[in-house]
């Protein structure tokens, strides 16, 4: 993919839809039982949803987005159900470009809010969503997709954060236009850490969540490389899932929301802001 010119467009032929199915299986595993079939992708494009992707000069699908538009609490919202890129496109900006394409297509239709879900332990996705796109999160869903047969979900389940993307907000436009990112860890020295991190051994481990904090800005640690941890120490990965779940659910219930993601090497952190707090700047499957 590097160096190739890409064309972003909706799927328009049976070959396009079949290519999307193939890419789903490449990303989530052969025989993935929850892949979206061609008929549903096609119908979504007929009734206001969006199924489309990035094609290279040879017509090969390099990444795609899929979602549908509906109503939540009286507001028109697009729910982005899937985003995937080929392995060679990871960390090369294709995910961001697909979200830009998706946003532009929806704004042309008058849709101004998009939502999707992502695993809060996946630092790559969290960094894209907060730092590059400017999302916010105030809802944590335990086991959102239940048990799946995708190897990406083995062991730690399908807990998800719900991303809220206000498509034409000043925050979002700033992130997209200037590549502006959120605050640095150095600027948050006064923010308490909800989850103590214990060093030693092969991977950092979480201590017990501190649930009595009431400062306007809090930090919530997550492992920097959850995939490596799942390969090398699954019990530790499960421990992180349980600890972060408890912290997110507790503080969200008290009115805090996740506003930023600060990526680190061994450990990264979410910035949570409570009512009255100052804004810090700025394989989704719904990403199984």
The rounded distance, in Å, linking the Cα atoms of 281 and 288 is 29
Domain ranges for the chain, please list them.
7-178, 185-273
Confidence grade of residue 256 (pLDDT, cut at 50, 70, 90): very high
Residue 209: burial class (beta carbons within 10 Å; 0-12, 13-18, 19+): buried
Which range, of 12-16, 33-37, 213-217, averages the lowest pLDDT?
33-37
pLDDT for 276 equals 67
197: β partners: 206
Three-state secondary structure string covering 151-216: HHHCCCCCCEEEEEEECCCHHHHHHHHHCCCCCCHHHHCCCCECCCEECCCCCCEECCCCCCCCCC
The rounded distance, in Å, linking the Cα atoms of 85 and 61 is 9
Torsion of CA 115, 37, 101, 287, to 10 degrees: 40
For the stretch 74-111, pLDDT in tens is: 999 999 999 999 987 676 789 899 999 999 999 999 99
**Collapsing DSSP states into helix, strand and coil, what is residue 138?**
strand
pLDDT tops 80 at residue 226:
yes
For the stretch 21-47, pLDDT in tens is: 999 999 988 888 789 999 999 999 999
Confidence grade of residue 285 (pLDDT, cut at 50, 70, 90): very low
For the stretch 57-68, pLDDT in tens is: 999 999 999 999
pLDDT for 152 equals 56
Nearest C-alpha neighbor of 174 from the set 61, 281, 62, 279: 281
Two tokens, residue 105: 């297509």
pLDDT for 286 equals 52
Nearest C-alpha neighbor of 18 from the set 68, 72, 76, 59: 59
Look up the pTM and report it: 0.87
The rounded distance, in Å, linking the Cα atoms of 24 and 18 is 10
- The CATH superfamily holding the domain 7-178 is Gcn5-related N-acetyltransferase (GNAT) (3.40.630.30)
């Amino acid at each position: 993919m590097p160096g190739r010119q890409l064309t972003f467009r909706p799927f328009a032929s049976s070959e396009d839809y079949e290519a999307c199915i193939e890419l789903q299986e490449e990303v989530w595993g052969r025989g993935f039982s929850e892949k979206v079939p061609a008929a549903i992708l096609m119908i979504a494009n007929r009734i206001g949803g969006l199924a489309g992707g990035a094609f290279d000069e040879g017509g090969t699908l390099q990444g795609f987005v899929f979602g549908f538009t509906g109503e939540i609490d009286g507001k028109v919202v697009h729910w982005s159900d899937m985003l995937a890129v080929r392995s060679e496109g990871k960390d090369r900006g294709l995910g961001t470009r697909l979200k830009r394409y998706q946003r532009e297509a929806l704004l042309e239709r008058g849709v101004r809010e998009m939502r999707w879900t992502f695993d809060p332990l996946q630092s790559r996705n969290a960094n894209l969503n907060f730092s590059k796109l400017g999302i916010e999160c105030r809802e944590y869903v335990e086991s959102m997709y239940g048990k799946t047969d995708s190897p990406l979900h083995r062991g730690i389940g399908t807990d998800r954060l719900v991303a809220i993307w206000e498509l034409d907000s000043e925050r979002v436009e700033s992130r997209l236009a200037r590549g502006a990112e959120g605050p640095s860890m150095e600027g948050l020295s006064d923010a308490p850490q909800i989850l103590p991190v214990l060093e030693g051994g092969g991977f950092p481990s979480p201590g017990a969540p501190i649930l009595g904090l009431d400062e306007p800005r809090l930090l919530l640690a997550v492992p920097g490389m959850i995939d490596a941890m799942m390969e090398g120490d699954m019990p530790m990965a499960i421990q992180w899932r349980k600890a972060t779940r408890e912290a997110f659910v507790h503080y969200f219930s008290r009115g805090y929301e996740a506003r930023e993601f600060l990526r680190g090497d061994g450990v990264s952190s979410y910035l949570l802001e409570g009512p009255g707090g100052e804004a810090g700047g700025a394989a989704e499957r719904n990403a199984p």
